[in-house]
Copies of this chain bind each other. A is one copy, B any other.
Amino acid sequence: MVTEIATIRFTDERVELAHGAGGKASRRLIEGLLLPHLSNAILDELGDAAHLEVHGAKLAMTADSFVVKPLAFPGGSIGELAVNGTINDLAVSGAKPLALVMTLILEAGLSTSVLEREIAAIADAARRAGVLIIGGDTKVVEHGKADGMYITTAGIGTADSRVHLSPTSVRDGDKVLLSGPVGDHGITVLLARGEIDLEADLRSDTRSVWPLVNALIDVAASGVRWMRDPTRGGVATALNELARAAKVAIALDEESVPVRAAVRGACEILGLDPLHIACEGQFIAVVAPERAQVALEALRRASGGEGATIIGEVRESPAGLVIARSAYGGSRVVDMLVGDPLPRIC
């Protein structure tokens, strides 16, 4: 992506919420302000995790901050999200998660019971995912200088030698697989804030996707070309980033993208596209056409992968765009997320 850096400028005078939303504004901040200073071959990949070789060991490393509001919501909480989010960044980069370090920024006045609940959630999520929390740091800021607690987790994993994931591996005709329904996390958090008047039986999908990723790699091996977990900015943003980086088009069969009724309903009320809503326990995989069916079946056989589906395919043109075909035969360009309709979703 290095060649593109010079073309993006960050001209905003102040930081705004949208710069943290994972969409276009985030991209401008990263490529227009951060990369010009920090650029190096590993960082410039802008992968979910950085891959590096140390004394012969092929490692992956990643870091994520979590500022979700409220701290707890149906199906999860900030602590579980922090563990799973970092594990998932490693997993979709093609690395087996191994260990995490974790830092807490706590607001003075936070009740110990809330803190202990989150520490227990972190411990439980780590145990379920088979990773160790091996270090960390705790800072406390004055009341009013944080919002309860913020968590940053950094993770290390070992690169899986069966795959070599990269946008440059993606080819015309490759299939786009999705592990399950989109938008559950984002809409659950939104509803938990009580900002819209809608009752829905919805839970965050937060979970480690490593078992599903592992099942996929088991059967498709190097046929898996690229993966990403569609968190902030949703499926639309993840696929747009792929389309740009790989200089291909993504032809999306919009009807085949699984969306729960409650998510679709909330999106209609809010004027949002479910393709822009964050997931925290799903992933997209681009798979070579000859391995796509066996990959799909392997995902569906795995626990929690029953909702997996093929949602589209890679085309040569129009390069850089995501095009959704509707059931009526029409088509539309699906853009990256613009603005930040759902701030602090993770």
Residues on A facing B (Cβ under 8 Å): 10, 12-21, 26, 29-30, 33-34, 37-38, 40, 42-43, 47, 49-50, 52, 54-59, 61-67, 98-99, 101-112, 115-116, 119-120, 122-123, 126, 132-142, 144-147, 150, 152, 154, 156, 158, 343-344
Contacts and interface: CB of A to CB of B under 8 A. Distances in A.
Contacts of A137: 63-65, 152
Given A15-B109, A33-B115, 19 more contacts: A10-B112, A13-B111, A13-B112, A15-B107, A19-B140, A20-B138, A20-B141, A33-B119, A34-B136, A42-B132, A52-B99, A55-B56, A61-B156, A63-B152, A67-B105, A141-B147, A144-B144, A145-B147, A152-B154
Query: Number of copies of this chain in the oligomer?
Result: 2
Contacts of A110: 14-15
16 contacts: A14-B111, A19-B106, A19-B138, A20-B140, A33-B112, A33-B115, A33-B119, A42-B132, A47-B135, A55-B58, A61-B99, A61-B101, A62-B135, A64-B137, A65-B103, A145-B147
B152 A122 contact: no
A150 B61 contact: no
A62 B104 CA distance: 13
A154 B101 contact: yes
B138 A29 contact: yes
A247 B142 CA distance: 35
Contacts of A109: 14-16
Contact of A145 (B18, B134, B146): B146
B12 A122 contact: no
A310 to B, nearest CB: 30
Most buried by B among A12, A57, A65, A123: A65
Contacts of A63: 63, 101-103, 135-137, 152, 154
A331 to B, nearest CB: 33
Contact of A133 (B26, B38, B57, B122): B38
Contacts of A30: 138
A337 to B, nearest CB: 14
Point out which of A33, A56, A57, A158 has the most chain B C-beta atoms below 10 A from its C-beta: A57
A43 B10 contact: no
B99 A133 contact: no
A135 B61 contact: yes
A146 B144 contact: no
A101 B12 contact: no
A294 B147 CA distance: 51
Contacts of A138: 19-20, 26, 29-30, 34, 65
Contacts of A103: 63-65, 152
Contacts of A18: 140
A46 B64 CA distance: 22
A109 B110 CA distance: 25
